[in-house]
Each structure stands twice: as C-alpha cells, then as structure tokens.
Amino acid sequence: MKPTTRAVLRSLVPVVCPPEAVPLTEAIVDHMGLALDASPALLRTGLDVGLVAYDLGAIARHGKRARSLTGEAAERYFRSWEHGITPMHRQMAHGINQLMSLSCYEQPEMMERVGYRPAPWIAEVTKKRLTVFADDIAKQDRQILAPDPLRRNRETTSDLIAAKKVGS
C-alpha cells in the first residue's frame, strides 16, 4: 500500500468507524490492505488516485491535507464527499466507507463488542449438515476416491511397457 493511501486511510478511521475502533487503526488499515491486494490492479490504482484527490482536495477548503484534519473538520470534509457534487465523490466516499466498515468489524475486538460470535453456530450447523447429508457425503467421497475408469493405473502401464520390451 502506498504511503499516501495508508496515511489517508489512517486518518479516516476516526471518521468512519466508532470511537472504540480508533485503537485498532493499524489493524483496520492492514485489513483493508489485504482486501485491496486481492483486488484487480485497476481497482487499486483507482483507489490510490481517489485518495490522493481526497487528500489534496482538502487544501482548498481547510488549508491542509485531509490526512491532517481531525475531529469535526475531518468529519465535515468526508461528508462533503459523501454528498459531493459529482458521482465520483459520492462513489469514492461510499466505497471507502463500506470497505473500512467491513475491515473494522472484522477485528475480533469489534466482533466481540457487538456480540458477533459465529463459531458456535458454525459448529452446530456443521454437525447438523454432516448428520442430514451423511449418505450423500459418503457417496460423493466414494466417487471422488474411486479409480478413474478411463485411465489405467501406473502399475498396469508399467507392466505393459515392460512386457512390450520383453516381447520385442
């Protein structure tokens, strides 16, 4: 992640996320980085360009870059993008808000804070599905592990090659 992108994203955590998430800023930005690294290059480039535009656009209004804004000024500037005059402003703010919110609530501390504990439910559903679909699972296992009827196994192929050499 480019330094400007990282700096701007860091500055947006207190604006987009709840106050309890501010101590998790680095983890949230790192999570966003992982999501972006898995994205196509064009999307990453668009985000980098959009964040530079967001960062530099604050100079005209506030006399400093967006990453240097704090408190109400930072929130007001982000809202100006959320309700911006062009679709680009609105979509950029909307996309950042979505990705940052996802990254925020993927943090274990935030999951716990909102009471999101999926592990017991996953274990329960897994057990139920393994019971309900046991016959289908066993049948599929047999099909997957069965020898391929269209391919000879290696021993047979080796035997044929050896027999052919002896017969020649």
Over the stretch 20-77, which tens digit does the pLDDT of each residue have?
A: 999 999 999 999 999 999 999 999 999 999 999 999 999 999 999 999 999 999 999 9
Is residue 93 within 8 A of residue 78, CB to CB? The reply is yes
Q: What percent of the chain has pLDDT over 90?
A: 74
What's the confidence (pLDDT) of residue 89?
93
Q: How far lies 99's CA from each of 35, 40, 46, 149, in Å?
A: 8, 15, 14, 48
Measure the CA–CA gap between 145 and 141, rounded to whole angstroms. 6
Is the pTM for the entire model greater than 0.75? no
Domain ranges of the chain: 3-113, 118-167
What's the confidence (pLDDT) of residue 47?
92
Between 53 and 167, name the one with better pLDDT. Answer: 53
Report DSSP letters for 2-61, one per residue: -HHHHHHHHHHHHHHS-GGGGGGHHHHHHHHHHHHHTS-HHHHHHHHHHHHHHHHHHHHH
Count of other CB atoms within 10 angstroms of residue 5? 21
Band the pLDDT of 167: cuts 50, 70, 90: low
What's the confidence (pLDDT) of residue 168?
60
Place of tokens 């909102």: 114
What's the confidence (pLDDT) of residue 42?
94
What's the confidence (pLDDT) of residue 159?
66
